């Protein structure tokens, strides 16, 4: 029979896996408490970084329906549970790992899909969701402006053509 404290820990971790958009597993061996505190700050407000026990976390992940992470639960493991924009947290992890080589990104999961460490680094290279949406909105606005100019050009071209025809007829009528 499982101890109540372990059962509560598994239930809490299961909820975190279910309620997060992404989870990134890392190895933190050799990092000081101050460095871990700095890492937590660099992840942003939408991420929670927790040092976890492998066995309990593996059980919790399986209960949450995530079985693709089983091979990553070895050595000292910590999980970044991301509830907001995963790009921001991936950037925080990547940048912190550059400055602190003791932090090793093992892999993770994004919306139920397994991600390797390299895929998480590629995710960190993306621009944030807000930036991508603003670029998309700008592209739509540009296309609308182009369409408006085309639609405005057609009537003015027609008016110029009609005026030219009228002038030509006046010239021909006056010459006769």
Mean pLDDT for all residues in the chain: 83
Place of tokens 């006046």: 170
Segment 95-114, tens digit of pLDDT: 888 888 888 889 888 887 88
Q: Alpha-carbon distance 143 to 84, whole Å?
A: 31
Length of the chain: 176
- Percent of the chain scoring above 70 in pLDDT: 94
- The 10s digit of each residue's pLDDT in 58-102 is 898 888 888 888 888 888 889 999 888 888 888 888 888 888 888
What tokens appear for 88 in the block?
């921001």
Residue 78's nearest CA partner among 42, 107, 110, 45 is 107
**pTM score:** 0.67
Q: In the beta sheet, which residues pair with residue 80?
A: 24, 49
Dump the DSSP string for the chain.
---HHHHHHHHHHHHHHHH-SEEEEEE-TT--HHHHHHHHHHT-TTEEEEEE-HHHHHHHHHHTT--TTGGG--SSEEEEEESS-HHHHHHHHHHHHHH-TT-EEEEEEETTEEEEHHHHHHHHHSPPHHHHHHHHHHHHHHHHHHHHHHHHHHHHHHHHHHHHHHHHHHHHHHH-
């Amino acid at each position: 029979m499982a101890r109540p404290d372990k059962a509560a820990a598994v239930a809490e971790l299961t909820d975190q896996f279910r309620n997060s958009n992404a989870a990134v597993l890392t190895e933190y061996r050799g990092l000081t408490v101050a460095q871990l505190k700095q890492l937590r700050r660099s992840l942003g407000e939408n991420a929670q970084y927790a040092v976890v026990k492998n066995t309990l976390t593996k059980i919790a992940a399986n209960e949450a329906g995530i079985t693709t992470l089983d091979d990553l639960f070895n050595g000292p493991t910590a999980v970044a549970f991301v509830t907001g924009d995963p790009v921001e947290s991936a950037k925080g992890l990547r940048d912190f790992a550059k400055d602190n080589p003791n932090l090793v990104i093992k892999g993770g999961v994004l919306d139920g899909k397994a991600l390797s460490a390299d895929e998480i680094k590629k995710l960190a290279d993306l621009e944030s969701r807000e930036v991508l949406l603003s670029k998309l909105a700008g592209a739509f606005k540009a296309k609308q402006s182009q369409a408006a100019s085309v639609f405005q050009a057609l009537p003015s071209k027609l008016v110029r053509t009609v005026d030219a025809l009228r002038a030509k007829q006046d010239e021909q009528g006056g010459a006769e």
